[in-house]
Structure 1
Amino acid sequence: MNPLDQQFDNDLDDGKEMTFLEHLEELRWHIVRAVGSIAVFAIAAFIFIREIYDKVILAPSKTNFWTYRMMCELSKKTGFTDLCIEKLNFTLQSRQMAEQFTMALTSSLMIGLLFAFPYAFWELWRFIKPGLRPNERRAARGAVFYVTTLFFMGVLFGYYIVSPLAINFLANYQLDPRIVNEFDISSYISTLATLTLGCGLTFQMPIVAFVLSKIGFLTPEFMREYRRHALVVILVVAAVITPSPDIYSQILVAMPLALLYEVSIWVSGYVNRLRLKEEQELMRRDGYED
């Protein structure tokens, strides 16, 4: 353990309060360790960047990608031949001298951020947790696990579902057959990263509901009342995320988002029940109840 962390824990045990500068120093060490973990994973990713590009980053641009193969299997069983993707009508190119090297650095940094996310969030949580009340700590127990799990579930959903559907549509969309789709590698990477990381953040909906309910800004009654409005918004978001015009792709994306909304209602109800119970216990302790 870092000496500053040990001193911070000792101060908490002794009932001492840290000064503002001590809090800043503590925060600095947490940030240094989080950034260091990102750097370690980024360096490892840069060493194996060619293998990563071939097996992971460029995989959705190939028709033998797992998602495309599963869609073809599904088309055979259902009879919807449009589901099978047999051709991706585009090529990737690099039109600037340093573009491939720059993209290797950028991709390594994003991969480092992705894999270091659990540890980086844990460092942030270690700084926040001591400032919480005992009941708040109990309510937020397992926060690192849930945040990390939801984040990686969203990333996998974005990588295996949303990104292939979007890439397929954009690659095969043509205003005129004479116009050839030749995409810059930077444009491809930007699209893949935006969709993948965007889904990772979108899957944090239950966590956002937990925080908003904890501060009293959100209630399960409110979420149930506006459930229909939320479903409309979810369908719109699904339509934006998946440019593909077929309704099957949009439903495929909208279903997990709708499920997350229902989970968020349960989370909000759980938080509100805990808060009501704590208020009743406080009133009994203060003698306001008969």
Structure 2
Amino acid sequence: MPFLDHLEELRWRIFKSLGAVLVCVLGCLFFADWILDAILLAPTRASFFMYEVLRLDSVNVELQNRTITGQFFAYFGTVLAVGLILGSPVVLYQVWKFVEPALYPKERHGMRFSAAFATFFFVLGASFGYLIITPVALQFFAQFNVSESITNEFDISRYFSMVITWTFGAGALFELPVVVTFLAKAGLVTAAVLKTGRKYAFVVILVLGALFTPPDPFSQILLAIPLLGLYELAILLAGGVERQRLKAERAEAAAEAKRQAAG
């Protein structure tokens, strides 16, 4: 395909992606009240189901709006964020359809698996951030008092920001096995290197936890625990990639030996 035709194809893929996101955002406008009340504000209520699951002694969290535009931006910001999330599969599909013609059949199969792999770990991480980190950290800070004369009441903008950070930050960090698998396939890391770097990985994980969570050691450690488990999983995956590569090299060497013997 000529270069200009590639640009035209890319232009239409972008238009379709933006159209899908716009439709999702407009659709979320009809459910904005439910999204805010049943999802984002649910952890502020002591009746939130995860408090029972986690056996937490919960209290209602009081929210306040301290800026003129606080509730306005919280409302429409939520609609936009949820619309982007719902439209993201279509965006990924359009990116895939643009790249697909340039790949070999084997590469296409690998990319499909990688996309599913990445999606699974992102959803797992986002679920952990919303269902575990958010309720535990929120109740910890809501009930932490240096004096009985001080009442904990959180600003609504700060609350929404923290929930989004906990949720999507955890989702991004849970992509660790996907990133390591990609690097292993590219030959940039090995299982041996990962095992040797465990102590350094622990420090890096704590730093990443600090970047993707509020600046407190409590939520930082809470996020670091599963990340350490994912790091161990990444070591196993890197080892699996190495074994597959070695097996392929042996098969190729055997086939080459057969061709030479036949010749």
TM over 0.5: yes
After superposition, the Cα gap between the structure-2 partners of 1:116 and 1:230, relative to the gap in structure 1 and judged at 3 Å, is: same
Aligned to 1:166: 137
Identity %: 37
Find the aligned partners of 2:102 and 2:249 in 1 and give their Cα distance: 20
Counterpart among 21, 35, 46 of residue 52 in structure 1? 35
Contact 1:234/1:258 (8 A) holds in 2: yes
Are 2:47 and 1:64 equivalent residues in the alignment? yes
Q: Does 1:205 align with 2:188?
A: no
Contact 1:34 1:123 in 2 (8 A): yes
User: What is the CA-CA distance between 1:266 and the residue it aligns to?
Assistant: 2.6
Within the alignment, does 1:126 sit opposite 2:109 as a pair?
no
Structure 2 counterpart of 1:80: none
Q: Distance in 2 between matches of 1:166 and 1:203?
A: 19
Distance 1:267 1:29 in 2: 37
Rounded Cα–Cα distance in structure 2 between residues aligned with 1:207 and 1:157: 17
Does residue 257 (structure 1) correspond to residue 230 (structure 2)? The answer is no
User: Paired residue for 2:65?
Assistant: 94
Contact 1:46 1:108 in 2 (8 A): yes
Amino acid corresponding to residue 87 of structure 1 in structure 2: V
CA distance in 2, matches of 1:111, 1:215: 34
Instruction: State the Cα distance separating 1:231 from its structure 2 match.
Output: 4.0
C-alpha change, 1:278 and 1:86, in structure 2 (3 Å) is closer
SS in 2 for 1:183: strand
CA distance in 2, matches of 1:115, 1:266: 32
Residues 65-108 of structure 1: per-residue CA shift (max 9 Å, x gap): 12211232xxxxxxxxxxx32324x5212233433222211101
Deviations 1:142-177 (A, max 9, x none): 233222222111111111001112222232334444
Aligned to 1:266: 236
Unmatched runs of 5 consecutive residues or more in structure 1: 1-17, 73-83
RMSD of equivalent CA atoms: 3.0
Q: 2:124 aligns with which of 134, 153, 174?
A: 153
With over 3 angstroms needed to count, the CA separation of the structure-2 counterparts of 1:150 and 1:119, relative to structure 1, is farther
Q: Is the alpha carbon distance of 1:236 and 1:122 closer, same or farther for their aligned partners in structure 2, counting shifts above 3 Å?
A: same
Other structure's SS at 1:180 match: coil
**Residue 264 of structure 1: SS of its match in structure 2?**
helix
Q: Secondary structure at the match of 2:235?
A: helix
Contact 1:158 1:199 in 2 (8 A): yes
> What do residues 3-26 of structure 1 show as CA deviations (whole Å, max 9, x unaligned)?
xxxxxxxxxxxxxxx333333332
TM-score (norm 2): 0.82
Report the counterpart of residue 39 of structure 1 in structure 2: 22
Report the Cα offset of residue 195 of structure 1.
0.7
Alignment of 1:173-252 (within 5 A): 173-231=144-202, 233-234=204-205, 241=213, 243=216, 245=218
Which residue of 85, 92, 96 maps to 2:57? Answer: 85
Q: Separation in 2 of the partners of 1:86 and 1:100?
A: 25
Question: Is the 8 Å Cα contact of residues 161 and 253 (structure 1) preserved in structure 2?
Answer: no
Name the structure 2 match of 1:77: none
After superposition, the C-alpha distances for 1:109-163 in whole angstroms (9 at most, x for unaligned) are 1111222233322222222333334443343342332222221111111110011
- CA deviations on 1:171-221 (whole Å, 9 max, x unpaired) are 233444434333221111110001101111111112111221222212122
In 2, Cα distance between the equivalents of 1:122 and 1:107? 24
Q: 1:193 corresponds to which letter in structure 2?
A: I
Q: 1:165 touches 1:244 (CA, 8 Å); kept in 2?
A: no
Q: For residue 226 of structure 1, what is the amino acid of its counterpart?
A: G
Structure 1 CA distance, aligned partners of 2:217 and 2:41? 20
C-alpha contact 2:22 2:83 (8 A) present in aligned 1: yes
